[in-house]
Amino acid sequence: MFSGSAHRDLAAEICGHLGVPLQPATVRRFANDCLEVQLQSNCRERDVFLIQPLAAPVQEHLVELLLMLDAARGASAARVTAVIPHYAYARSDKKSMPRVSIGGRLVADLLVTAGASRVLTMTLHSPQVHGFFSVPVDHLHALREIAGHFRAQDLAGAVVVSPDLGNAKAAAALARMLGLPVAAGAKERLSDTRVTITSIIGDVAGRT
């Protein structure tokens, strides 16, 4: 297990839960702003896991992960799994206008080219992103953990609401686990940071 700099606390917690050591890795920045990554433990014929969510600054952490993958492959690792709890480029899953790139697919290709033989990620923006990868993908979700958290709360008069129709299936699954009704919004995106809900499908009046 190695961690990039995106979330070392998460990596340490994962290793603590599994009872395995987090191996040291260093990231060095040269005077020309290029990065160099060194994995400081033997990887030869090992099953290597690289933990690096693509959190802000996304591009910095993505390049770190690509360099870590290349380092592990070059060190003769038997298998290299990229553990990416947050796959930021999953939102770029289709062409919304002419002459734009599909970033989710491009980043998937980069990860595989750099040396990923498996990817473990959570709650991708849309199911088709799974298909962008040419290597196996473990696509996890946290619905059971979320349901376990809310079962300890007072859910009288509550309703599970999806902000848009794309997440209605997941919202319905959570609602079944909690024994609650479900509703969904009709969302219109105005800009990258502004959305509006034009209508609600389902009964939410007077509910939490």
Q: Which domains does the chain have, with CATH numbers?
A: 2-140 (3.40.50.2020), 155-201 (no CATH)
Catalytic residue among 94, 95, 169, 187: 187
HSE value, Cβ hemisphere, 13 Å, CA-based, for 170: 18
Q: Is 187 a catalytic residue?
A: yes
- Which band of pLDDT confidence, cut at 50, 70 and 90, is reported for residue 63? very high
Across the range 33-56, mean pLDDT stands at: 96
- Alpha-carbon distance of 187 to 164, in angstroms, equals 5
What residues are paired with 50 via a beta bridge?
Answer: 2, 82
Confidence check: pLDDT of 148 > 90: yes
- Whether the CB-CB separation of 5 and 38 falls below 8 Å is answered with no
Task: Tell me the pTM.
Answer: 0.87
38, β-bridge pairs: 26
Query: How confident is the model over 80-119, as pLDDT tens digits?
Result: 999 999 999 988 888 878 999 999 899 999 999 999 999 9
